[in-house]
Structure formats: C-alpha cells, structure tokens
Amino acid sequence: MFTRIGIVTKTHEPAVKEALERVIAVLNRRGVDTLLETQAAAHAPAGDYRSAPGPALPDSCDLVISIGGDGTLLQCAGLIYPRDVALVGINLGRLGFLADLSLADIETGLDAVLDGQYLSEDRAVLGCEVVREGRVIASEDGLNDVVVQKWSTARLITLETYVDGQYLHSQRSDGMIVATPTGSTAYALSGGGPILDPRARALALVPICPHTLTNRPIVLSDAARIEIHVATDREDESRVTCDGNSILDLLPGDVVRVARRARAIRLLHPAGHDHFATLRAKLNWGA
C-alpha cells in the first residue's frame, strides 16, 4: 500500500526510543523503504538508516508515522501539507485525539495499516493571511485552528469580525479562535466551544473570555470566509497563531483572513476506529 514511509518523533520523551525501535522492526520485517527525520534518527537503535531534515522528508514519502502526542502529529501535518502524503500517529501523549495508535498496539496496528486495513479521513485545513495596509505580509496553514489573542498585556483587546463580508460583531475579549472540526477538541474546547464531528463541513468561532457574556461560540459553514480586524488602539498587544505556532505580532488596523484550504490532510486510523468511543474515553464521559 505504501512504498516509502517517513518517521517523525517527539523529542526528549523516554518512551520514544522503545516505540521507534518497535516501529522500525515492523517496517524492516515487511521490507518497507524507511526514511527517518533527523531528530528521529538520533533516537534510533544502532543500524544503517537513511535520514532527512523535516522539510525534505515528505518529498520522498507517501506515508509519515508520527511518534508522540497530538502536538507531534500537528508538526507532521505542517511538514507534509499540501503534498499528497498520508499521516498516522502513535500516541505517547496524554489525550491523543489525533494520534490514536497506542504503544501496546504498535505491531498489530501498523501491520493492519500496511495491509490496507485502516480508516482514511480527510481533515480540513485552514489558511490564514495577515493583511497590513492592503498588503499580505504573512500567511500560514493550520489543521487545528487560527487564534487571534492578546499578547504582553493584561488588558482586553478589541476585535471586529466579518463573515463573507458581512459584519458579525465587535467584541472586547482575550481573543478569538477559528477552529476546524479537528481543532474543536483542542483550544476551542477549553474556551467552551462545541465539539464538531470530523465529517462536518463546519468551522467554529469561539471567543476567548469575552467581556460581554452573551457573546457565544458560533458554528459556520466551512465555505465561510472570515475576517478579524484588530481594532485595539495600542501596538504589540495581540498576536496570531496557527496550531499554536506564532505567525506575527499584530498592529492596530491589521486584518486576519481565514478560510478553508482546497486540499485536506489525509489522516489514517486503525480499522474499526470509533470517534465517539475516543471522546468517551478521553473526556471521561463514562461507558
């Protein structure tokens, strides 16, 4: 099913070495061409391995295995996008909404994936542009979310939001999250946002600690084009991030444009994957 597989690992994690050894053993047993990201190669057991820096890895692979938590998988998503490369995660983290192969299931799970027994999901990606004085000065992509938030201040910031060119509202808050269904179980969840089915063609707008308590999360079509205008009057008080990675410090008058990208990320799960069972287990909803 896959001719060359890349491996990316979380750094400074004691369980990484064991997981990496077991993954490599499975791939070697099956005669799969394997390429290690440079950091992963540093954790690998003794042997002759080919390695490449992260940005070069996806050019030579049709599947990337992420060993770590959801943060590592998001890092991998940033590396492979927008190439047509599948992504599967082995979870060494705490929650693992995205990286859902457990340490105990490495051999059986990977064998099943390599035999074609998996569930493939296309996960929406957000594109973000920052416009200053009519010119795009920064852009980035995010699988989870785009966040405009206050920075280096205890004061609230003022944001004006437009959807498809129509004025939605002005709010004073700690910021605004634009989340995909994938990101609805991340920062947006802690902000009181809704959990979206990964198959939903939707985005969530989630205010962060709004001063007006009636300012509630809103679910939009994922075809919506969102603009967030920075209306605060002080400089260096807000910042925009994608998947937790800082893009730019914002200035008064800056506009952050957010829209779904045409290409998605292809995420693989073990056969029989049950999203609702994952929610029950990770969020302690009971049996």
Q: Which CATH architecture has domain 126-260?
A: Sandwich (2.60)
Q: CATH number of the domain at 4-124+264-283, out of 3.40.50.720, 3.40.190.10, 3.40.640.10, 3.40.50.10330?
A: 3.40.50.10330
| pLDDT tops 70 at residue 222 | yes
- The string of pLDDT tens digits covering residues 262-281 is 999 999 998 888 999 989 98
Average pLDDT, the chain: 93
| pLDDT tops 80 at residue 244 | yes
- The string of pLDDT tens digits covering residues 23-49 is 999 999 999 999 999 989 988 887 778
pLDDT of residue 152: 85
When pLDDT is cut at 50, 70 and 90, the band that residue 287 belongs to is low
63-68 and 86-91: which strand pairing?
parallel
Question: Which residue pairs, CB below 8 angstroms and at least 24 apart, start in 127-131?
Answer: 127/258, 127/259, 127/260, 127/261, 128/240, 128/242, 128/247, 128/256, 128/257, 128/258, 129/256, 129/257, 130/240, 130/247, 130/248, 130/250, 130/254, 130/255, 130/256, 130/257, 131/254, 131/255, 131/256, 131/257
- Residues 55-84 have a mean pLDDT of 93
Delimit the CATH 3.40.50.10330 region(s) of the chain: 4-124+264-283
Active site residues: 70
Delimit the CATH 2.60.200.30 region(s) of the chain: 126-260
- The string of pLDDT tens digits covering residues 162-199 is 999 999 999 999 999 999 999 999 999 999 999 999 99
